[in-house]
């Protein structure tokens, strides 16, 4: 049941629309005379980290102007609409904060899936004949694959179109990008190690994009990202969840699935390049040709 759901892009696009509709519904629950904050709405959706998602879509609600920042400062347009309902002095709101939302908390459903997949994580020394780098671009809806043999010779590049409608929410990138990647990789006939532009175990729930793809398909994966999503660095080793999960080498390389720290260290020595590991560097160049630099973030 879960595996079929994870492969269904239409299901997740609909889930993305459900998130937006849930947000609109929450905003419309705010009574006249009250305001709420972006963070309170994110908490009502199931995770305070979703404040950026709230900020991106809250103006779709008719009463969007009842949503204020945590400092209670409002814009001139917002003030003109809100001052008929609450007290405003200067540009600061003086009104009770509404918190009593009725919500299905949809983000908790996604967390449960992540927690389920954590139990499928394996640590191994992988066997493979090819190394495949994977990156996603948005301007032209491209997924790029750079396929190398074990001698670092570029054998082939592939590009595929995607139709991603699931919104960007930090730490939930797997439901935006992981689903289309899984759908492509499940049909590939390679004994390969997959390098994915994103994180692995350096994620609040150990379920970065590389780990998600690896556990869904039981494949060996490594995450490679520009920025650290979660964890700490000591002596260039990335620690998360009280364990070493990867290395900082100018970028952040972490265990995804069916790999281990010793293998990761050896692989980095052989495959590291200027900005990323070589397979991601090539895949990234392909997507940049199609998208510019418009991707909002990497989990």
What confidence tier does 2 reach under pLDDT thresholds 50, 70, 90? low
CB 275 within 8 A of CB 224: no
Mean pLDDT of the chain: 95
Q: pTM for the full model?
A: 0.93
Task: Determine the average pLDDT of the residues in 66-89.
Answer: 98
Q: What is the pLDDT of residue 298?
A: 63
Going by C-alpha positions, the residue among 285, 276, 283 that lies closest to residue 157 is 283
CA 213 to CA 218: how far, in whole Å? Answer: 8
Q: What is the pLDDT of residue 295?
A: 45
Please tell me whether residue 5 adopts helix, strand or coil conformation. Answer: helix
Going by C-alpha positions, the residue among 23, 19, 105, 15 that lies closest to residue 64 is 23
pLDDT at 185 over 60: yes
CB 27 within 8 A of CB 58: yes
Percentage of the chain lying above the pLDDT 70 cut = 96
Q: What is the pLDDT of residue 289?
A: 83
Give, in order, the Cα–Cα distances in Å from 218 to each of 61, 200, 215, 256, 257. 41, 14, 5, 11, 8
Q: What is the pLDDT of residue 163?
A: 87
pLDDT at 208 over 90: yes
Q: What is the pLDDT of residue 190?
A: 94
Q: What is the pLDDT of residue 293?
A: 39
Q: What interhelical angle do 9-28 and 178-185 show, nearest 10?
A: 170
Asked if residue 135 belongs to a known ligand binding site, the reply is yes
What confidence tier does 125 reach under pLDDT thresholds 50, 70, 90? very high
**Which residue do the tokens 């239409």 mark?**
10
Q: What does the pLDDT look like over 210-266, one tens digit per residue?
A: 999 999 999 999 999 999 999 999 999 999 999 999 999 999 999 999 999 999 999
Please tell me whether residue 240 adopts helix, strand or coil conformation. Answer: strand
Going along the chain from its start, the domains and CATH numbers come out as 2-104 (1.10.10.10), 121-291 (3.30.2170.10)
Please tell me whether residue 245 adopts helix, strand or coil conformation. Answer: strand
pLDDT at 272 over 50: yes
pLDDT at 296 over 50: no
- 254 forms bridges with which residues in the sheet? 223, 246
Q: What is the pLDDT of residue 5?
A: 79
Q: What is the pLDDT of residue 292?
A: 36
Q: What is the pLDDT of residue 290?
A: 59
Greatest CA separation for the chain: 69
Q: What is the pLDDT of residue 236?
A: 98
Q: What is the pLDDT of residue 3?
A: 64
Length of the chain equals: 299
Q: What is the pLDDT of residue 7?
A: 85
Task: Determine the average pLDDT of the residues in 163-179.
Answer: 95
Percentage of the chain lying above the pLDDT 90 cut = 90
């Amino acid at each position: 049941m879960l595996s079929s759901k994870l492969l269904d892009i239409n299901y997740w696009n609909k889930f993305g629309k459900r998130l937006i509709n849930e947000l609109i519904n929450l905003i419309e629950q705010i009574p006249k005379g009250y305001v709420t904050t972006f963070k309170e709405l994110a908490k009502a959706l199931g995770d305070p980290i979703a404040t950026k998602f709230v900020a991106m879509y809250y103006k779709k609600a008719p009463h969007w102007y009842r949503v204020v920042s945590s400092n209670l400062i409002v814009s001139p347009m917002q003030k003109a609409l809100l001052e008929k309902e609450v007290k405003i002095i200067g540009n600061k709101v003086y009104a009770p904060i509404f918190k009593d939302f009725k919500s299905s908390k949809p983000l908790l459903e996604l967390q449960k899936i992540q927690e389920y997949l954590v139990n499928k994580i394996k640590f191994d020394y992988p066997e493979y004949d090819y190394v495949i780098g994977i990156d996603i671009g948005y301007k032209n809806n491209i997924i790029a694959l750079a396929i190398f043999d074990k001698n670092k010779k570029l054998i082939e590049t592939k590009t595929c179109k995607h139709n991603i409608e699931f919104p960007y929410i930090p730490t939930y990138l797997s439901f935006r990008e992981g689903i289309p990647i899984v759908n492509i990789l499940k049909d590939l006939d390679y004994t390969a190690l997959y390098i994915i532009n994103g994180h692995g175990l350096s994620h609040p729930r150990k379920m970065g994009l590389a780990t998600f793809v690896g556990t869904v398909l039981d494949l060996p994966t490594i995450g490679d990202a520009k920025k650290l999503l979660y964890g700490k660095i000591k002596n260039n080793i990335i620690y998360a969840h009280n364990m070493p999960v990867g290395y900082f080498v100018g970028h952040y390389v972490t265990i995804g699935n069916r790999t281990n720290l010793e293998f990761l260290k050896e692989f980095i020595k052989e495959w590291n390049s200027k900005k990323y590991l070589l397979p991601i560097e090539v895949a990234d160049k392909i997507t940049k040709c199609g998208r510019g630099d418009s991707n909002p973030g990497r989990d």
